[in-house]
């Protein structure tokens, strides 16, 4: 037992160290985890004998719960809602089209059995949230037309549809499904899954805002448990557990509560560990010596999926929305296969259904191909298609972007009528414990002294004591979109509530100190206190 624990700890440390170097080499981190699993596996250097698909399926299913939950929790709905319809179409109709087209190819071109062909299509029909998020974050891919949010919502929400298709095909292969049974299964998967997801999110938010825990870590334990309950409760009554978990995360992640930052840090670490676990297990379960037997059909499926099935699905859905051609090309290329496909392939292997071909190693090869080729080239393709947007920040499309931060610094623009203009610092009355930390003048940084004179157009950086940990007030950024109900109204006409105050407004490159007559404009960022 002690040796096993030491081995597990050692593997995690090796994966963490390897991920540190993979970014410098331009290799997707998740690909490194797969190769490490192969190194430790039966055909690798360390010869760890592990081929128990049942245990692997249970472990990976639990890991996928947290990946799905955090996929929703980390999605910034304010950024994503403009592309939500397109993303949902890709995650539902797009998954169905991809599965069907891939299934037809496997049956009529490769000669697989009909149901087995559609099983492979179902298993690889969804894109991988962990892979997409990892690349967008690590490469800081700021994409035009809100494409980052489109990819995030699609990849985070399409696994439930792929799971539903996989379950339906396996039921057909087992002879357990009639027409009426399939119709009810689809209804139950969607409706029960969605309802449970919403209910669990609202219950979680109520507890987080109304109950004060004695221990700071109890909020994380609560939400950890709620993610599990959301999945398990939905699955017990026939709903789609992954859909429930995703919806719970999406709703909860876009609500305000004081412990949100702690949860982001907690689940960021948990999800990272789950990604290591799934991709390492994939490598551990794989037998590279068996790959030559499936390499030709697997390569054919991977190429067909990448260059035909995925683009057909994307263009069929996004063209009616009049999306730019280059955006459709990038979305087509960014359809990475990963964690969900692995879990569903393992699920097929433990199913009592008769499967003639080695589905696991076929999917293993497809995932390996997808992450190594598509994942590595996403930054290159984005650049070649002129899809890089230097005026945006992809990190703001995630909810773990620091939109709730203690105030530590303030930048003041010295205008013509500013009372500090043409005064030396020693002649200015500042609040106690407040210091002018820096002056930026014509791009140059000036370290201030008592006799330093502040001039017009200077940017003065003022510092003050940071907030105590016990302080329960936070600042929240709210960006005003074209459909925001506050747009065009003066602050005095908006009912914020007695406990909320607009502290400042970021407008283009300027900071506006608001008054009651200040009118809210499109693209304004309102900085508000959030008790």
**Same domain (yes/no): 391, 335:** yes
Note whether residue 354 is domain-resident. yes
Which backbone phi and psi does 435 adopt, to 5 degrees? -135, 140
CATH code for position 43: 1.20.1530.20
**Same domain (yes/no): 59, 207:** yes
Residues 162 and 18: their CA atoms lie apart, in Å, by 31
- What would the two tokens of residue 375 be? 């994942």
The structural domain count of the chain equals 3
At residue 443, the 3 state secondary structure works out as coil
Beta strands in 285-399 (DSSP E): none
**Same domain (yes/no): 353, 479:** no
Choose the final residue of a domain: 465, 485, 512: 465
**Same domain (yes/no): 348, 412:** no
**Same domain (yes/no): 238, 139:** yes
Choose the final residue of a domain: 419, 438, 465: 465
- What would the two tokens of residue 527 be? 């900085």
Query: Among residues 89, 35, 148, which one has the least CA distance to residue 378?
Result: 148
Query: Among residues 455, 500, 453, 494, which one has the least CA distance to residue 476?
Result: 500
Burial of 412: CB neighbours in 10 Å, binned 0-12, 13-18, 19+? middle
Note whether residue 429 is domain-resident. yes
Note whether residue 402 is domain-resident. no
Return per-residue pLDDT of the chain as tens, 531 residues.
687 788 778 878 877 777 766 655 555 677 788 888 888 887 777 777 888 888 888 998 999 999 899 888 988 888 788 899 999 999 999 999 999 999 999 999 999 999 999 999 999 999 987 777 777 777 777 888 889 889 989 988 899 999 999 999 999 998 876 778 889 999 999 999 999 999 999 999 999 888 888 777 888 999 999 999 999 999 999 999 999 999 999 999 888 887 777 888 888 889 888 888 888 888 888 888 888 899 999 999 999 999 999 999 999 999 999 999 999 999 999 999 988 898 899 999 888 887 888 899 999 999 989 988 998 899 899 999 999 887 776 666 666 544 444 446 778 888 888 889 999 988 888 877 778 888 999 888 888 888 899 999 999 888 776 655 444 455 677 888 888 889 999 988 888 877 778 888 888 878 788 888 899 998 888 888 765
**Same domain (yes/no): 355, 412:** no
**Same domain (yes/no): 155, 293:** yes
Residues 347 and 369: their CA atoms lie apart, in Å, by 21
Note whether residue 43 is domain-resident. yes
Choose the final residue of a domain: 465, 484, 514: 465
CATH code for position 448: 3.30.70.1450
pLDDT score recorded for residue 407: 46
**Same domain (yes/no): 360, 314:** yes
Beta strands in 307-422 (DSSP E): 409-413
Under 8 Å between Cβ of 67 and 129: yes
**Same domain (yes/no): 296, 419:** no
Note whether residue 403 is domain-resident. no
Note whether residue 116 is domain-resident. yes
Under 8 Å between Cβ of 492 and 520: no
Per the structure, the complete domain to which residue 214 belongs is given by 2-397
Note whether residue 207 is domain-resident. yes
Note whether residue 53 is domain-resident. yes
**Same domain (yes/no): 500, 390:** no
CA atoms within 13 A on the CB side of 441: 12
Output DSSP code: residue 519.
B
At residue 456, the 3 state secondary structure works out as coil
**Same domain (yes/no): 267, 365:** yes
**Same domain (yes/no): 303, 431:** no
Output DSSP code: residue 388.
B
Query: Is the sign of the CA dihedral 449, 453, 459, 463 positive or negative?
Result: positive
b/e burial code for range 439-457 (CB count within 10 A of at least 16 → b): beeeeeeeebeeebebeee
């Amino acid at each position: 037992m002690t040796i096993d624990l030491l081995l597990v700890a050692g593997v995690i440390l090796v994966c963490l160290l390897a991920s540190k170097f993979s970014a410098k080499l331009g290799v997707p981190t998740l690909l490194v985890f797969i190769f490490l699993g192969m190194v430790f596996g039966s055909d690798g250097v360390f010869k760890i004998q592990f081929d128990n698909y049942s245990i692997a399926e249970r472990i990976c299913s639990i890991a996928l719960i947290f990946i799905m939950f955090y996929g929703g929790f980390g999605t910034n709905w304010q950024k994503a809602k403009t592309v939500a319809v397109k993303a949902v179409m890709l995650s539902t109709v797009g998954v169905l089209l991809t599965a069907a087209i891939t299934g037809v190819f496997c049956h009529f071109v490769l000669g697989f059995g009909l149901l087995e062909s559609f099983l492979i299509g179902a298993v690889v029909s969804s894109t991988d949230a962990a892979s997409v998020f990892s690349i967008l974050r690590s490469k800081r891919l700021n994409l035009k037309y809100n494409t980052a949010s489109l990819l995030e919502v699609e990849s985070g929400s399409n696994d439930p549809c792929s799971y539903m298709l996989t379950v339906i095909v396996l039921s057909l292969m087992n002879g357990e499904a009639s027409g009426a049974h399939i119709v009810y299964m689809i209804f139950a998967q969607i409706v029960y899954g969605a309802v449970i997801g919403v209910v669990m999110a609202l219950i979680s938010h109520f507890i987080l805002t109304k109950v004060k825990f004695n221990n700071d870590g109890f909020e994380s334990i609560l939400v950890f448990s709620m993610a599990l309950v959301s999945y398990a409760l939905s699955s017990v009554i026939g709903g789609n557990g992954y859909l429930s978990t995703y919806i719970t995360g999406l709703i909860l992640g876009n609500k305000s509560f004081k412990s949100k930052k702690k949860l982001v840090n907690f689940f960021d670490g948990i999800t990272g560990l789950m990604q290591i676990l799934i991709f390492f297990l994939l490598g551990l379960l794989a037998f590279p010596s068996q790959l030559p037997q499936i390499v030709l059909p697997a390569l054919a499926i991977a190429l067909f999926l990448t260059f035909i099935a995925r683009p057909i699905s994307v263009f069929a859905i996004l063209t009616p929305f009049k999306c730019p051609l280059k955006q459709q090309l990038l979305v087509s290329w960014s359809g990475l296969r990963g964690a969900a496909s692995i879990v569903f392939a393992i699920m097929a292997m433990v199913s009592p259904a008769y499967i003639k071909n080695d589905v696991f190693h076929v999917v293993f090869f497809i995932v390996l191909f997808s992450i190594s080729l598509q994942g590595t080239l996403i930054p290159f393709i984005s650049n070649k298609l002129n899809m890089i947007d230097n005026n945006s920040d992809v990190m703001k499309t995630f909810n773990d972007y620091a939109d709730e931060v203690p105030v530590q610094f303030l930048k003041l623009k010295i205008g013509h009528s500013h009372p500090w203009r043409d005064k030396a610092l020693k002649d200015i009355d500042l609040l106690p414990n407040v210091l002018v930390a820096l002056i930026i003048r014509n791009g140059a940084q000036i370290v201030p002294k008592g006799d330093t004179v502040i001039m017009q157009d200077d940017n003065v950086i003022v510092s003050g004591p940071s907030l105590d940990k016990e302080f329960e007030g936070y600042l929240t950024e709210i960006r005003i979109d074209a459909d925001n109900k506050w747009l065009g109204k003066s602050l005095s006409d908006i009912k914020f509530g007695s406990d909320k105050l607009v502290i400042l407004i970021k407008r283009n490159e300027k900071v506006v100190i608001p008054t009651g007559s200040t009118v809210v404009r499109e693209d304004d960022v309102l900085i508000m206190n959030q008790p």
